[in-house]
Amino acid sequence: MILAAGSPAVRAEPARQEHLPRILVLATGGTIAGTASARSAIAYNAGGVLGEQLVASVPGLDQLAVIKAEQVSNIGSQDMNSQVWTQLAKRIKQAFDRNEADGVVITHGTDTMEETAFFLDNVLDVSKPVVLVGAMRPSSAVSADGPGNLYEAVEVAASEKSRNRGVLVVMNDTIHTARVVTKTNTTSVQTFLDPNDGPAGLVDPASIHYFMPAAPRHKLALALPSAGLPRVEIVYAHADMDADQIEAAVHDHAKGIVLAGVGDGNASQAALGALEDAARHGIVVVRSSRVGGGLVNRNVEVSDDKAGFVVSYDLNPQKARLLTQLLIGNGITTPANVQQAFDDAY
């Protein structure tokens, strides 16, 4: 239906709305809230459209849920940071504790969406759905994917089927879990994949289908570190690598170093030697991989026991970094205890 300018928005009947789930939308910015000239899907600013406007622009949302939108930030997710993460975590916990909402949807840029999802997954112990959603094309582009994604995210967050599944990401008709999801393409709308596990489920305007039943998860229940997140650097391995990046991280007082290693989390002799030195000085060293799929296991090509290293298993470097920050922030710092926590979280 096309409304004449000034026509009141179409609303669900109040009687019907009473029985609808209550969804809290927390808006943080990103391309989903970006604007550009109508034909353009490039040269735009992430952020700019408010959460309330986003919600109001999606036809039919008010038939799915009673929605309350709050603006937490309005930034591109390249600028996402631990202050906003802490704000999100506190607001979600408060909303569920006070029974203000049956589910939460977070609108977010796609660049670091997997990191926000993984952070929240580790610090929230909630059974109600928490769903992150974004868009690859700005809200004013002819081919905007945000409205459809937001509709489906609300649908997923409003569903009983989504309870006890941890934090989820919904993009392009696909439901992903926080631990496995990763952005794999700079521009495609089908950018989010789950290399080590596959998607959790599928969603379209008519149905939600999960491939596996929800299962109670082993939760580390990590507290939000009151002193903020400690400094943990990611060092990117490559051919012809020297020790400079690692020495710079040590010099900058990093409390942890995550190796985005070649292959199964490997690096040159020079780099491994410098990492071993760092571990000997009490810096938490975690081996992950730059490859994007597969596991980094202990003591395969690198002698982790001897060097005092931790391995990240399936966690990519950016998620291994977050878990390392949270563990150190919770006082878990010895290689054995950090490894145990990575094992427990796996």
Taking CB under 6 A as the criterion, which residues in 22-51 touch ligand ASP? Answer: 30-31, 46
The nearest distance, CB 122 to ligand ASP, in angstroms, is 21
Distance between the two ends of the chain, CA-based, in angstroms? 49
Q: What six digits make up the tokens of 51? A: 């959460």
When binding is defined by CB under 6 A, the residue of 24, 54, 55, 77 that contacts ligand ASP is 77
Residue 63 interacting with ligand ASP (CB under 6 A)? no
C-beta closer to ligand ASP: residue 37 or 78: 78
Ramachandran category for residue 198: left, alpha or beta (phi over 0 → left; psi -120 to 50 → alpha): left
- Using CB under 6 A, which residues numbered 108 to 127 contact ligand ASP? 109-111
162 to each of 102, 108, 216, how far by Cα in Å? Answer: 11, 19, 12
Alpha helices in the chain (DSSP H): 14-17, 51-56, 61-64, 82-97, 113-123, 146-157, 244-251, 269-280, 304-307, 317-329, 335-345
Q: How far is the CB of 77 from ligand ASP (least distance, A)?
A: 3
The encoded tokens of residue 128 equal 């109600």
For this structure, is 107 an active site residue? no
Residues 6 or more apart whose Cβ sits within 8 Å of residue 238: 262
Using the minimum distance from each CB to ligand ASP, give the nearer residue, 138 or 201. Answer: 138
Q: Closest CB to ligand ASP among 115 and 304?
A: 115
| Least distance CB 153 / ligand ASP (angstroms) | 14
Q: Which of 258, 165, 244, 180 is nearest to 212 (CA)?
A: 165
Task: Please pick, from the candidates 134, 146, 166, 201, the single residue that binds ligand ASP as defined by CB under 6 A.
Answer: 134
Number of residues that bind ligand ASP (CB under 6 A): 11
Site of interaction with ligand ASP (CB under 6 A)? 30-31, 46, 76-78, 109-111, 134, 136
Q: Could you give the residue numbers annotated as active site?
A: 31
